């Protein structure tokens, strides 16, 4: 198997390096940023049209029903 040198001079297999990279990319903090960036335009539009209370309620409803997760799942199924 291939070995990759990482910081500190130690060697790990390439699979371990790729797995740790994917773990960093899909960590919880990045997922939160992605979800907020995805919902920000809808939130702002609702805020302008209906008011901040309606926008917060709608955003909370989307999060409670896991609508963003369903969207990601549909995108993976289709694409």
Residue in this structure with the two tokens 């960036």, named with its chain if needed? 37
Distance CA 27, CA 31 (A): 6
DSSP 1: -
- Within 8 A by CB and 6+ apart from 2, the residues are 13, 14
pTM, entire model: 0.52
Each of the 79 residues of the chain gets a pLDDT tens digit; together they read: 555 555 656 677 777 777 877 777 777 677 778 778 888 999 999 999 999 999 999 989 988 888 877 877 888 788 6
| Helix residue ranges, H only, the chain | 14-25, 28-50, 52-64, 67-78
């Amino acid at each position: 198997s291939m070995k990759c040198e990482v910081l500190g001079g130690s060697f790990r297999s390439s699979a371990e390096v790729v797995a740790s990279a994917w773990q960093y990319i899909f960590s919880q903090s990045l997922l939160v940023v992605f979800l907020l960036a995805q919902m920000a335009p809808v939130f702002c539009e609702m805020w302008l049209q209906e008011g901040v209370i309606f926008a917060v309620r709608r955003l909370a409803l989307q999060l409670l029903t896991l609508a963003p997760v369903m969207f990601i799942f549909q995108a993976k199924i289709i694409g």
